[in-house]
Structure 1
């Protein structure tokens, strides 16, 4: 396997990683919403806006306190609302987003559709639930009166005893959110955020485990007997991940250095992250701290901040 080298942004401290990731998320948000924002430029006064909206290509600072008062002209065929569609994995990524996003004033939470890259089939109040962690660390702490409330699409908790049924049900949620499978071969997220575990798994796709890495048709697959952590899971598939408009891996800590070395230096090993680096070539960025790159031979890039807090 010959893998296109992704963009690799390295930072000294966890806080620097969190700040850069948050900036990248807002940049992706602004790009996804840019068409609607441009359309509304001439009617900004109809919004409850608490700061200026500056347009400069696709790089802008937007601080909207509420869009609840937007008036829309009726039409025979209402335009589909433009939303920022983002997929999140769990674990340390959620802590990074908590640190970086919650203090910002330019996150338009009310325009977000949040999906999950995978889920452990445990009750939502379990420490292992990705949705549960995101709810505690992020969703419950959003000032929804100021910034709006995101749409959050999680698994059906009543189906956690049946991985196949749970996977099928979540795929139906994706189909509904992305205009139906008859017209969309694969969903396209505006941004897909992933971590990478020390054993090399991403989302709930494990190296050399079952046939999930080779799945070509399904959007969501059940994972049974997972080799680490909660054993019953569901996961979005490699084709769905690679079809995203932008992808970013967020990895920190010296325990990740060995697997990063394999991903970056031995792509022929076929670890899930290497498959994504290849399948989404040119659209993948890595945000890592220096400890995670210990003894890893890569070319680091300086991250250029694109948005203002």
Structure 2
């Protein structure tokens, strides 16, 4: 049994996992943006912001490339930055930053992986029978990053960004969209250069104003493959699993799927405010038993269970936990949306 026990939430099926993950994400969003989960308190804060437009994110936008390389290919996603965000950091007459404006510029920073996780996010955030979710997600206050990426064209089904774009981003209704930070597609032939470029994006966004050792995501969502890899950190790739300094790593000769990739490092993953694994299906049952009951095997997810102790949650269906015997499963308590009938 793992020496540091994470929270393990179990559900009868796929829909139950998707609904709970959606609630978990919205709760993390509200805690980040408003420092409360109380809907009445959140409503009062929004009402107060509405009375003082200077605290609100303006709807007028300016389009810029998110990449540090402004000569990227035409497929590079343009981002919408509000006029409030563009003027962030402007000092007042006393040379001090406007604290009120700074508080309005708080963003929900989330990193996601690919694979079956994208399908779960589609179901939970966009296809759920709970219509309340659509009103609770504040997409325009999200900054979305990727925990890893396969170095293939975005049109490929193996592209984490490409699949997330098709199954999530393109389906978001209305004009309020998240800011999305993906790799530079022009660099997919060089994993080291691509990793360096993505790390520069992280440094620019997380360490522009302050010297920080590691970026801190408000929520980092990961899946787990049948072979035990998470993000693009593979078992037996010891050098990468022991990396202490780099934020983003190149990956070559991956044992499954596209060989060349980039990935966030273990220290970055463990530094997130919340680390959440989402796993479903019978094919994951053997590796889930190793993760939970044989931590000495040193699988990447077991390393994260230990390294991010107290911040790790697992959302798993019953099939994936079929082979686990020495674990304590918990019933998930919905905090932000009404408890769906499916769970």
Equivalent of 1:118, from 129, 148, 167? Answer: 148
- Provide the residue aligned with 1:44 in structure 2: 50
Q: Deviations over 1:246-303 (max 9, x none)?
A: 0110000010000000000000111000000000011100000000001202110000
Match of 2:336 in 1: 307
Provide the residue aligned with 2:224 in structure 1. Answer: 196
Return closer, same or farther for 1:220/1:43 CA change in 2, 3 Å cut-off: closer
Which of 74, 90, 108 pairs up with 2:114? Answer: 90
| Structure 2, unaligned runs of 5 or more | 37-41, 61-81, 339-343
Does residue 233 (structure 1) correspond to residue 233 (structure 2)? The answer is no
CA RMSD in angstroms, aligned pairs only = 2.4
Q: Could you tell me how far 1:224 is from its partner in structure 2? A: 0.4
Task: Tell me how many residue pairs correspond in the alignment.
Answer: 290
Which 4+ residue blocks in structure 1 deviate beyond 4 angstroms?
35-41, 69-75
- Matched with 1:136 is 166
Alignment of 1:22-101 (within 5 A): 22-34=22-34, 40-45=46-51, 68=59, 76=92, 77-78=97-98, 79-80=101-102, 81-101=105-125
Q: Taking structure 1 as reference, are residues 255 and 45 closer, same or farther at Cα in structure 2, changes over 3 Å only?
A: same
**1:119, 1:234 within 8 Å by CA — same for their partners in 2?**
yes
Distance 2:266 2:163 in 1: 24
What residue in structure 2 maps to residue 258 of structure 1? 286
Q: CA deviation at 1:3?
A: 2.7
- Tell me the TM-score normalised to structure 2 length: 0.80
Asked whether the equivalents of residues 277 and 314 of structure 2 are also in contact (C-alpha less than 8 Å), the reply is yes
Contact 1:175/1:181, CA 8 A, preserved across alignment: no
SS in 1 for 2:220: strand
Distance in 1 between the 2:210 and 2:50 partners?
A: 36
